[in-house]
Amino acid sequence: MTEGQREREVRSLTTQEVDPRLYYDYEGRFIKQKLERDRMRLLPRVVPPQLFAPGGHSLGDVRVFERFTAGPISMLTCRFLDLAPGESTPLERRIPSLTAYILDGDGICSQDGTDHVFTSEDVVFAPPYTKLRITAGDRGLRAWIPESRLWHVLGLLWTEHWEPQRVPGEVRVLDGDGEWAGYEFPRGLLDLEDDLVVRPGADPHREAVFDARARGERLGAVGNRYDHFVDMLGVERERREDSPRVFPGESRPFEHTRQGELRYYIDNWAGLHGQDLDVAEYRIDAAERTGRHRHIAEELLYVVAGTGHDVHDGSEHPWKAGDLICIPPMTEHQHVNTGSEPARLISVWSHHPANEFLGGIEHVEDASTWTPA
């Protein structure tokens, strides 16, 4: 414990003052929620690239503090990855899983030393706490990476770096005998009360926890409810070993549904370890429209191709290729292609309590292309 930390602890034990950062004002929170709802109604349902939030994430970063930065959804955000031919991302490992839709190009995703080849229209998935590097092929690479903000709520947003990455100007890159030795975050940045040094590589405690999880064994016989939860650790290990890492677009068939032409990349039946998002694609032919429905979970879509508009609770919101479509919870919505070419929309929604326990879709109107068997 540093001298500064010791002094603060002494003050906290001897003072009667309440730190406002630790005080939860319930009445104030209700007012803040009302203000957030009012702000949400003012934000655009369709966010074009020129309105993307500055920095790495288009709708505000994965911390919940920056939700409602550009669009009216709270649980989801996204970023884009652009790599030149042969360029690689630095080797890193984090607890959240990775889900990436490959918009253009091809490459290799190395996960814990194993290479997984992908190309455009594929979805790449990496389970939690996986050493990860993405390398672009000869055509370069552009990928859309949707992300859930739930990991920040759980306090699990830490990333381990094995190689230096681009950092803001206030952060100092440390040098140790000519080799990268980590970062130093100065006091005052992000309300830090002391300088913070982050070293390269794994956090020993975190690595020990996940090493133990990776050794989880099935019980064989489950005799009570507690045994079931112990057995889940073995189930998790098996799922991790068997989890697909690339979902090729060419092998995902479109389904003719009352909501339109849909193909699912990742869903509840994908058998993934640590899955936090579902991924599907809409294909809407010229002058056609999807069905109209409503659900509790919010939804985020990226317009890969085409032009059209959404209808949200009766109001129209035009979109074009490159835009993001934000659908707030409990919003009746429909996608309409007003162009002369097919439109393609990539849709994601998150696995969180409102979706899992208040799931299901209220179907209101069939797609214009729906022909029941």
Q: Which residues pair with 364 in a beta bridge?
A: none
Query: Which CATH entry fits the domain spanning 248-365: 3.20.20.140, 2.60.120.10, 3.40.50.300, 3.40.50.10440?
Result: 2.60.120.10
Q: Which of 13-27, 66-80, 141-155, 292-306 has the lowest mean pLDDT?
A: 13-27
Q: Which residues of 10-23 are buried (b: 16+ CB within 10 A; e: fewer)?
A: eeeeeeeeeeeeee
Average of pLDDT values for 94-105? 97
Which residues fall within 8 angstroms of residue 38, CB to CB, at 6 or more apart? Answer: none
Give the pLDDT band of residue 288 (cuts 50, 70, 90).
Answer: very high
Residue whose tokens read 């030149």: 84
Rounded to two decimals, the pTM is 0.89
Q: What is the pLDDT of residue 357?
A: 85
CB 284 within 8 A of CB 260: yes
**Tokens standing for 279?**
């991924």
Give the dihedral sign, CA 359/362/366/371: positive
| 3-state SS, residue 169 | coil
